[in-house]
Structure 1
Amino acid sequence: MSTATATSAAPLTTQEAETLIMAARHAAEAAGVTVSVTVLDAGGHLLAFRRDDRAVLISGETSTRKAYTALQLNAPTVDLVDLVKPDGPFHSLPTALDRPLLFIAGGLPIHRDGRLIGALGIGGGTPEQDHAFATTALNTLP
């Protein structure tokens, strides 16, 4: 029985996760930035992770939290930053839940056939750089 039906999309594969990691790392290397890259499946489980040798240790945690946030809210984290500021409509969300959410640019949901199949998170550069690296990597998927 096929896992892809008219109502579901094929899940994100480990090969695709590795493609995302390599593309993100190449984009970061071209910019002279060391990063950590996290890929989660649709259930929020770790599918792939890589931290550059010289990347700051916290980048591993931030990349994972960005991916988790993008997955749980089905939105790029760059689009959520203003919503959790003190005057934003969801300002209490980061502390209201006992979940590893992080509202900093660099996390993207991954869709296939209109369905959420996972998420990608990048940490180590500036928020703008991390978002750009994630976008570049996501564009490598068919």
Structure 2
Amino acid sequence: MSTTTAVAPLTTRDAEVLVTAARRAAEAAGVAVSVSVLDAGGHLLAFRRDDRAVLISGETSTRKAYTALQLDAPTADLVDAVRPGGPFHTLPTALDRPLLFIAGGLPVRRDGRLVGSIGVGGGSPEQDHAFAAAAVDAPA
């Protein structure tokens, strides 16, 4: 007999907390970003683009979040996998929805279960990853 404990889904309130934490980290570093949070089904729960953020950051933040969710891994950990000869080399072009293998996307877990993801775009890949990590690690 299998016993599965239900895990509460990511709510819009949770998503707003994540967006706020990522933006605070970015603001502290003086970087203008876009932040996207998706639920476990890949649906956008929250999005915010700083007025000064480059326009493409809105798209990249969402694609990073989607990639982290679909592969249940930080996008920073997947960069080498899509290089020529890597195990996921053709994956970026194999799906209807484009994946983005640039640091800045992280899965969001609750009690060890995947409940959503966050993506940050607008800074360097390392900065975006750090801002997303700051949000995931922030107390709820």
Aligned to 1:46: 44
| 2:16 pairs with 1:35 | no
Within 2, Cα distance between the matches of 1:45 and 1:96? 20
Aligned to 1:118: 116
Aligned to 1:90: 88
The size of the alignment, in residue pairs, is 138
Within 2, Cα distance between the matches of 1:120 and 1:17? 9
Within 2, Cα distance between the matches of 1:77 and 1:8? 27
Please report how far the alpha carbon of residue 6 of structure 1 lies from its aligned counterpart in structure 2 after TM superposition. Answer: 3.9
Check whether the contact 1:8–1:115 (CA below 8 A) recurs between aligned residues: no
Question: Counterparts of 1:1-142 in structure 2 under 5 Å?
Answer: 6-142=4-140
Deviations 1:71-123 (A, max 9, x none): 00000000000000112121111012222200000000011112110000000
SS of 2:128's equivalent in the other structure is helix
Identify if the C-alpha distance between structure 1 residues 100 and 141 changes in structure 2 by more than 3 Å, giving closer, same or farther.
Answer: farther
Q: Provide the TM-score with structure 1 as the length reference.
A: 0.93
SS of 1:28's equivalent in the other structure is helix
Within 2, Cα distance between the matches of 1:65 and 1:89? 20
Q: What's the RMSD between the two structures over aligned residues?
A: 1.2
Within 2, Cα distance between the matches of 1:54 and 1:118? 27
Within 2, Cα distance between the matches of 1:76 and 1:7? 25
Q: Provide the TM-score with structure 2 as the length reference.
A: 0.94
SS of 2:115's equivalent in the other structure is strand
Structure 2 unaligned blocks of 5 or more: none
Percentage of pairs with the same residue? 78
